[in-house]
Structure 1
């Protein structure tokens, strides 16, 4: 997903750095770390997950884009799917030390994921 964008950025950074090095009679050495791949949901499976949630009476919304990395992105490069988040009712992010999710949300979340898996298996 979007590897061409990563390749273009890497090439352009190299070109700009080489230009600056030439302008100042310097040498450059670039060590490139591309970072995690972008998490891009499959449109079909994202819509499917949303429709299952709505049928079950849950509120749905699109998550805002962010620059965080997610290991699930690697799966989505190989298998169509969708990353689904549930609300935690916490003002802090998942990896923040003060993150304290509302445990009452665990049961409805488990019920939703069970329904999602059951319905997905009917369509595979």
Structure 2
């Protein structure tokens, strides 16, 4: 339970970014230049599916890198959000892609053309 009297700018930034963008990938590096293999895999999958997404480089700021882990209670990066919902990290995204589930999910969410 977060105490509403102590505003957390990192938490607020994450919440705002996730709320304002249909598909957000919190990653190491930028989509054009990922700085870890796991981030690169998720970028390749999203690019392959033709999904527009916003990439947020968590390496730009230690508070953001730690904050995103606390935000979802998920220990690893990258983290994919679709329509405000946490989807998962690299392994989950890769499994969903391989099974066809990710494409269906993105289409159902209206972020990918059928």
TM-score normalised to structure 1 length: 0.30
Which protein is bigger by CA-based radius of gyration? Answer: 1
TM-score normalised to structure 2 length: 0.32
Q: Which has the higher contact order (CA 8 A, sep 6+)?
A: 2
